Every structure is written in structure tokens, then in C-alpha cells.
Amino acid sequence: MTEPILSVRGLTKRFRMHQIDTVLPTFDGISLDLAPGEFLLLKGRNGAGKSTLLRTLWRSYRPVAGQILYRARAGIIDLATAADIDVAHLRRTEIGFVTQFLTARPRVPAQDIVAEPLRLAGESAADARRAARHWLNEFGVREALWGAFPSTFSGGEQQKVNLARALIMPQRLLLLDEPTASLDAGARAALIRRLAELKAQGVAMIGVFHHPQDVEALIDREIDLTPDSPDTKAPDTKAPDTKERADVAL
């Protein structure tokens, strides 16, 4: 069996709200393994913590306990406690997050928003723009809109720009938070094609989908986050060791 790219162990998230002196529990003691090229569907009722889990893996949220052992190219690292600069580096190079909303900077043309991840990864402006146009076209954004500001677009068009940006770089791990919401049939088909292509290249994916039938053909495994479901208890494999690492320059 291939080594997992991600091994989550005992992951727990609670939100402590000081002003009202309250602790909001979400998920508790989640464990799971994910192999390269595997597609894992997160299930569970509203509020079970599906999106919260994705954001915790992305480190927008800080877990209160547990490990998120990610097998980076340079070595294994625990994203639960990793330095911010390491997390920022992995977000630029290895881990992608596809959300249902575009949070684009205002006054930036669609094609530049889409090209930005490639620019940050060091590609030339011309190459990045060429790739951006390809993906805008692929997701069905009309050419007339490529130079316009997405803040003026409809929700569906914004989402297409968002997908083109999020999927322009081949990452090693993709977190998907309802990316099919508000898409028309053509864009949905383009998204599924792209995800299938990435999956075949070995990209591992964890996703939340309101309509899982959209991605049925891609799903390898499902886990239910509803408390007391047996799916998230510890896999019997041992968590990997984090010792060996290579150098990474910025």
C-alpha cells in the first residue's frame, strides 16, 4: 500500500469565545488516512463540522488537540502546529483549497486573479496569463469578461473564476468545500473533468458536497462526521514519523 499523504490523528476543534465565555464544540478526536490519488467525501448533518474540518486542515482554524501529519515533498510535517511560514509555503506549492465563494481583491481583472498562483510560484507573466485564459475558457467564462473585474460578475461567473484560480496549479492535496454550488451544467462538467484529471495524476482530495451525486464517479471513500459514527475512529496504521526532512528555500 502507498504511504498516506495525510494522516489525521485525534483531531479536535472547539471555538472558545471569550466575550460570551462560551466554548463551541465541533468535532472531537477525528482520525483518518488519505492516500495519493484518493478522493474522500465528508458526510454528516449540518453543523457536524465538515467545513470546519477542511478549514482546520488548511489552518485557517487552529485545532485544540491532535495531529495533521502531511507528507510534504520535503518531509512530514504536522500542520496542527507547523510554523506559519511553512503553512504559507505549502499553500503556495502543494495544498489547494477550493471554496464556494470568490474572495477576489477588487479592481483586479479576472485573468490576473486566475494567473496569480502561477505568478507566485515563479512563472512568467506571459505564461501565467496564457494558462489563466485557458482555464477561464475551460470553465466557460466568456472572453469578454477576462479583462473585467469579477466583483461585477454574477455569482455563477464568480465561482467559475474562483475554480479556474484554485485549480490552475496542480497541487498534491486539494480541499474542496462545495465547489459545485451555484455552477451551471457546463461548468460543473468542466470541474469534474479537471478533478478527474488531477486525481489520475495522484492528487489527493477531501471534499464536502451538497449534492455528492455530482462527483459520484470520483468518490473512493466516504466518512460520516456525525458524532459517534465509527468512520472517524483511529485507523489501525501507525502515524508516520516526522523526522526526515529536506531543505526548502523561499
Partner 1 sequence: MTAALNIAGDATPLPLVPPQLVTTQPLLRMEGIRRRFGEVEALGGVDAAVYPGEVLGIVGESGSGKSSLLRMMNLEDTPDAGSYHLAIPDHAGRNLFDLDRYQRRMLCARRIGIVYQNPHLGLLMGNSSSGNVAERLLIAGERSFATLRDKARAALDASEFPLPRMDAPPAQLSGGMQQRVQLAKAIALEPTLLLLDEPTTGLDVSVQALVLDTLKRLQQERRITMVLVSHDLGVIRTMADRVMVMRRGLVVEQGLVDQVFQDPQHPYTQQLVHAKL
Q: How far is the CB of 235 from partner 1 (least distance, A)?
A: 24
Q: Which of 24, 47, 60, 229 binds partner 1 (CB under 8 A)?
A: 60
Residue 220 and residue 39 in contact, taking contact as beta carbons nearer than 8 Å = yes
User: Is residue 59 involved in binding partner 1 (CB under 8 A)?
Assistant: yes
User: Is residue 2 involved in binding partner 1 (CB under 8 A)?
Assistant: no
Restricting to residues 97-116, name those near partner 1 by CB under 8 A.
105-107, 116
Residue 27 and residue 52 in contact, taking contact as beta carbons nearer than 8 Å = yes
User: Is residue 193 involved in binding partner 1 (CB under 8 A)?
Assistant: no
| Beta bridge partner(s), residue 65 | 12
- Segment contacting partner 1 by CB under 8 A, of 60-68, 154-162, 174-182, 217-225: 60-68
Q: How far is the CB of 140 from partner 1 (least distance, A)?
A: 28
Whichever of 128 and 206 has its CB closer to partner 1, that residue is 128
User: Is residue 22 involved in binding partner 1 (CB under 8 A)?
Assistant: no
Whichever of 3 and 143 has its CB closer to partner 1, that residue is 3
- Segment contacting partner 1 by CB under 8 A, of 4-12, 71-79, 138-146, 220-228: 71-79
CA angle 152, 155, 159 (to 5 degrees): 105
User: Is residue 128 involved in binding partner 1 (CB under 8 A)?
Assistant: no
Whichever of 16 and 238 has its CB closer to partner 1, that residue is 16
C-alpha to C-alpha distance for 179 and 159, rounded to whole angstroms = 8
Q: How far is CA 35 from CA 24, 179, 203, in A?
A: 31, 21, 9
The separation between CA 228 and the C-alpha centre of its own chain, rounded to angstroms, equals 25
Q: Which of 9, 50, 89, 160 binds partner 1 (CB under 8 A)?
A: 89
Q: Which of 17, 24, 65, 217 binds partner 1 (CB under 8 A)?
A: 17
User: Is residue 74 involved in binding partner 1 (CB under 8 A)?
Assistant: yes
User: Is residue 83 involved in binding partner 1 (CB under 8 A)?
Assistant: yes
C-alpha to C-alpha distance for 127 and 193, rounded to whole angstroms = 23
Identity of the amino acid at 27: F
Q: Are strands 65-72 and 6-17 parallel, antiparallel or unpaired?
A: antiparallel
What one-character DSSP code corresponds to residue 124? Answer: -
- Record the cell numbers describing residue 102, joined without a space: 470568490
Report H helices in 63-203.
Answer: 84-93, 110-120, 125-138, 155-167, 185-200
C-alpha to C-alpha distance for 80 and 61, rounded to whole angstroms = 9
Whichever of 8 and 191 has its CB closer to partner 1, that residue is 8
C-alpha to C-alpha distance for 132 and 115, rounded to whole angstroms = 5
Whichever of 85 and 217 has its CB closer to partner 1, that residue is 85
Whichever of 9 and 89 has its CB closer to partner 1, that residue is 89
C-alpha to C-alpha distance for 115 and 127, rounded to whole angstroms = 9
Contacting residues toward partner 1, per CB under 8 A: 15-19, 55, 59-62, 72, 74-75, 77, 81-90, 105-107, 116, 119, 242, 245, 247-250
